[in-house]
Amino acid sequence: MINFETSPERYRHWKLETQGRVATLSMDVAEDETLAEGYKLKLNSYDLGVDIELADAVQRLRFEHPEVRVVVVKSLKPRIFCAGANIYMLGTSAHGFKVNFCKYTNETRCSIEDASARSGQRYVAALNGTASGGGYELAIACDEIYLVDDGNSAVSLPEVPLLGVLPGTGGLTRLVDKRKVRRDRADVFSTLAEGLKAKRAEEWGLIDGHFPTSKFQEGVEARVAEILKESGGGEAGPGIKLNPLDVEASETGREYRHVSLKVNREGRHAELTVRAPRGELPSSAEEIQELGDSYWPLRAYRELDDALLHLRMNEPEVGLVLLRTEGEIDDVLKVDKTLVENREHWLVRETILYMARVLRRLDLTAKSFFALAEPGSCFAGNLLELLLASDRSYMLNDPERPVEIATSELNAGALPMSNGLTRLHSRFLAEPEKADLILEMDRSFDTEDAEDYGLVTFAPDDLDWEDEIRVAVEERTSLSPDALTGMEASLRFAGQETTDTKIFGRLTAWQNWIFQRPNAVGPQGALTNYGKPTQPQFDYKRT
């Protein structure tokens, strides 16, 4: 079972150091400390375990070190920055694992960009040696890239010529969308296995600068100093500690403080329940700071995040997740009101941004989600996003047991999808005025109102409720999971396209297909034959 929780004192592949407003993330991959058997992590190549640590470090910098303005990402290995995702790990992994691995690494790189765009922590990649494949994709997720000019070091995306697959961590998209590299040059670069060295790489826009070996450290430090001068002061802080989650794991699920996950493997579905806060709630930034990571929104969404990752990686045959909530709507709305009133405080801001990232993780998860609004539910404000994110929603229509859902100001843009839209506006693309009207009303909706306004999919009465849910579950879990994944990914991100939707909708779909093609993973495929004396043999028919 893969565990996504870690902390700096447990890192085996990264070293995180902070000194005032500068942090250093040093990659020093222990080649024998692999997540599975059958490969070694040579040349700072990485597997999922390496990326779990990186994701944790990026998260901790935002919550534990808000004073940091610049993060320098470098390697402690001589003459090598990072060789990318370990090829032998990819060659021996199951198809589903490869796809989920790429998706997780994409989300980690997006979190780096989110930290830069929204938290003011700029990332500088200091490439002391060659950065190939996923190594360059890590660099390109940073704000600026500097390469040592030693006559040998280069940047490259060699996946197409060497492996018959795509750069799986958004490299192609970021080349043309983020760095705005000319299409013809991007074509050459992406088919040139050896890559480009410093001078040509800067000329083509693949890096921001280069320094000779003797002046590399000095050059990077000078640029960091310039960024600090441009950025002004850091957050007041102090940061908070992200403590381990308390989770009771069993054969049938996981139990957290605010989240429950129950797995029905025989039925290929799971129930995921988020519970509203209980007891007295803080109303000021000072009280929230004092609570630290035990503050309900931060703790509950960290638990939800862990549960989603567990479902992805450890429960591959679970195809449907039934989303439920429990608690008082007023308590959820009170939390949202406090978050909105104190959103200028660094910790509140970071908490809201984190909630948004977790909800996007749900959007991007290749499972079907059905939301069930029943008596005792609290799909309100931030938790209403769970219902809006679902592929379908069912709300009980029983006058004897009334059910309500409600909006809050957080639904109006604080928790955007990958397409940059709110889930309400994504829902009502043909009627954006309806989404605006619902948000302006700032009220709760009973079942009939929710159905009339289009907020739920179905509203069965008490007599039909159990049968309708049962039939819906049986029907959904009987369908092809491959077809459902493609269908859901196509339907969830209607509207405008962004870099994120290109990466997760377009790249993930193509990579999913390419990872199963004989040219990549067949007996004569490039990925299968990498490092062997045999040469790949391609079927040259275009499809």
Tally the C-alpha atoms within 13 A of residue 377's C-alpha that lie toward its C-beta.
Answer: 29
pLDDT of residue 511: 79
446, 357: one domain: yes
**Domain edge (last residue) among 447, 462, 483:** 483
pLDDT in tens, 255-270: 999 999 999 999 999 9
Mean pLDDT, rounded, for 348-354: 98
Residue 450 sits in which domain range? 248-483
Instruction: Measure the CA–CA gap between 121 and 144, rounded to whole angstroms.
Output: 12
Average pLDDT over all residues of the chain: 95
75, 168: one domain: yes
Mean pLDDT, rounded, for 13-27: 97
pLDDT in tens, 244-255: 999 999 999 999
pLDDT of residue 57: 98
328, 415: one domain: yes
Decide if 220 is inside a domain. yes
pLDDT of residue 486: 87
Decide if 42 is inside a domain. yes
Decide if 541 is inside a domain. no
Higher pLDDT pick, 486 / 308: 308
pLDDT in tens, 116-158: 999 999 999 999 999 999 999 999 999 999 999 999 999 999 9
Residue found under tokens 């000319």: 182
Is residue 373 within 8 Å of residue 393, measured between CB atoms? yes
218, 341: one domain: no
Decide if 328 is inside a domain. yes
Decide if 507 is inside a domain. no
Given a cut of 70, whether residue 478 has pLDDT beyond it is: yes
85 DSSP assignment: B
Mean pLDDT, rounded, for 402-417: 97
pLDDT of residue 233: 65
pLDDT band of 489, cuts 50, 70, 90: confident
* Cβ atoms within 10 Å of 401's Cβ, excluding its own: 11
**Domain edge (last residue) among 191, 206, 231:** 231
Instruction: Measure the CA–CA gap between 354 and 335, rounded to whole angstroms.
Output: 15
Instruction: Measure the CA–CA gap between 354 and 340, rounded to whole angstroms.
Output: 14
pLDDT band of 510, cuts 50, 70, 90: confident
161, 257: one domain: no
273, 169: one domain: no
pLDDT of residue 84: 97
pLDDT of residue 515: 87
The answer for residues whose C-beta is within 8 angstroms of residue 433's C-beta and 6 or more apart is none
Decide if 489 is inside a domain. no
pLDDT of residue 542: 86
pLDDT of residue 507: 78
pLDDT of residue 244: 97
Mean pLDDT, rounded, for 65-94: 96
200, 253: one domain: no
143, 61: one domain: yes
Q: Which alpha helices (H) appear in 120-163, and where do they start and end? A: 134-141
367, 416: one domain: yes
Decide if 3 is inside a domain. no
The answer for residues whose C-beta is within 8 angstroms of residue 52's C-beta and 6 or more apart is 4, 6
Decide if 410 is inside a domain. yes
pLDDT band of 496, cuts 50, 70, 90: confident
277 DSSP assignment: P
pLDDT in tens, 513-534: 888 899 999 999 998 999 899 9
Q: Which two tokens stand for residue 146?
A: 């500097």
Mean pLDDT, rounded, for 382-411: 97
203, 263: one domain: no
pLDDT in tens, 465-475: 999 999 999 99
Is residue 171 within 8 Å of residue 140, measured between CB atoms? yes
380 DSSP assignment: B
278, 307: one domain: yes
65, 147: one domain: yes
Domain count, the chain: 2
Higher pLDDT pick, 510 / 36: 36
pLDDT of residue 169: 84
Cis preceding linkage at 238, omega within 30: yes
Lowest mean pLDDT among 366-380, 428-442, 492-506: 492-506
pLDDT of residue 302: 98
The answer for residues whose C-beta is within 8 angstroms of residue 241's C-beta and 6 or more apart is 64, 292, 293
Find the helix packing angle between 95-119 and 346-363, rounded to 10°.
150
Read off the CATH number of the domain in which 271 is found.
Answer: 3.90.226.10
